[in-house]
Amino acid sequence: MNIVLFVLFCSAVCNGQPIQNATSTTVTPASGQETNTSRVRNRLTEAIGNFSIEFLFKTSVLQVPGQNMIISPITVWTALAVIAEGASDDTKTEIIRALRLSRNQTATRENFGDIAKWLTVNTKTVEIAKFNGIFVDKLRLPLPEFQSTSKIYYDTDTVALNLSNPVVTADLLNRVISNFTHGRISSIVQSDNLQNTPMVLASALYFKGQWTVPFNTTSTSKQPFYDSNGTQIGEVNMMYNRAIYPFSNIKWLQARVIELPYGEQNRLSMLVMLPNHGVSLESMFSNFKNVHLDSFFEELRLSKEEFSEDEVDCFIPRFKIKSDLDLTEVLKQQMGVQQLFDMSKARLPKISHTPLYVSKLVHKAEIEVTEEGTTASAVTVAEFSNRIGVVRFEANRPFTYMIVERLTNTIVFGGFYRQPSLY
């Protein structure tokens, strides 16, 4: 019986190294001015948005309560879309439903091409790179048509290997990923994950961005962190900045949202969503269920126009989150993708004539959010003036964050911060 091990690796390293010749905090961030209003919109951007929100929420439901989390919904989506190309019958139907794919494959491929094009950025201040590969045993190469579809439409390369030695293979995969992530992620695959595995699908996303307006390390200080009921549960190193950040109080979400842009071109931003006092992260998130992600972004845009000159006192903890998740159960129990993981039911005839199923879907991600590289001495006390008219955004209780590509509104990374620590 053939086994497919399906591995996803991701890394978001977003340390806000100050840009050389940094702008001072009173300068309007680039995203304050709408430089390019043309957005990439197609049926698929909406579908991916819906999937991403649902997937973030459902993954958190299966987590141990109170833990921090980081995942990359677009990476999971892409990997499953490649698998869908090789699937048939109910196996395919289940994936299509979870991914909200249309039955029109031509349209999906074209639309995805438009999105993927924008998910590659490489400038002095922002770098985002993706890597998709199918590592497969030399003797059991997938069907040529599947290989070319994966390459042409999903930029996924097929790499033939001698997989008979799991130790050598694990080492090779680790080296490829390490090279790709600039050494940030070095050992992900263990050889015992590769026993009897004819195929490994690996998908990695690397992001590194510098804040458009860097935080000043001298303003970082130790501050209490509360649960959503206001009980102190720990301490964090709180970064502080006063700047003109796009900001909105979104009533239907029961949350306040701030947008922290990266780089100079207004392409990627971190959105921090802070539930109102007394509102739990879970109930805030469930408010997304009946609303388009697009209307959320529209509300943010309108608010940006209305309050474009308002400064915000922004407090965000410095943090690092690593997630190492087995997403198999989330997909099976929460997203209705069951047959794919079932040895006797999976139908993947366009990948290979021999029966295949997916044994596991593993996801690794890492995010680091800092003001800059210098280690700040922990107990600097900063003075935070409470000037009238300055909005105060203080992420000192559980919040959600998302790194979003703004032309396509793709959620590149997303997660929860609930468990404070002095990073």
Ligand X SMILES: *[C@@H]1O[C@H](CO)[C@@H](O)[C@H](O)[C@H]1NC(C)=O
Q: Interface residues with ligand X (CB under 6 A)? A: 20-22, 24, 36, 38, 40, 46-47, 50, 100, 104, 106-107, 110, 138, 162, 164-165, 175-176, 179, 216, 218, 227-229, 290, 292, 407
C-beta separation of 243 from 228 below 8 A: no
For ligand X, which is the closer residue by CB, 283 or 333? 283
For ligand X, which is the closer residue by CB, 178 or 359? 178
Query: What is the spatial distance between Cα 266 and Cα 52, in angstroms, rounded to a whole number?
Result: 22
For ligand X, which is the closer residue by CB, 233 or 391? 233
| CB of residue 342 to ligand X, shortest distance in Å | 25
In whole angstroms, how far apart are CA 338 and each of 84, 127, 280?
13, 36, 30
Residue with tokens 């015992």: 192
For ligand X, which is the closer residue by CB, 185 or 346? 185
Query: What is the spatial distance between Cα 203 and Cα 141, in angstroms, rounded to a whole number?
Result: 18
For ligand X, which is the closer residue by CB, 259 or 371? 371
Query: What is the spatial distance between Cα 222 and Cα 225, in angstroms, rounded to a whole number?
Result: 10
| CB of residue 46 to ligand X, shortest distance in Å | 5
| CB of residue 165 to ligand X, shortest distance in Å | 4
For ligand X, which is the closer residue by CB, 21 or 375? 21
C-beta separation of 416 from 398 below 8 A: yes
| CB of residue 343 to ligand X, shortest distance in Å | 25
For ligand X, which is the closer residue by CB, 18 or 317? 18
Query: What is the spatial distance between Cα 262 and Cα 249, in angstroms, rounded to a whole number?
Result: 22
Query: What is the spatial distance between Cα 328 and Cα 358, in angstroms, rounded to a whole number?
Result: 9
C-alpha 56 chain-centroid distance: 9
Dihedral in degrees, nearest 10, Cα atoms 47, 5, 163, 1:
-120
| CB of residue 352 to ligand X, shortest distance in Å | 17
| CB of residue 278 to ligand X, shortest distance in Å | 8
| CB of residue 371 to ligand X, shortest distance in Å | 10
C-beta separation of 146 from 350 below 8 A: yes
Give the list of residues 6+ apart from residue 57 with CB closer than 8 angstroms, or none.
285, 286, 288
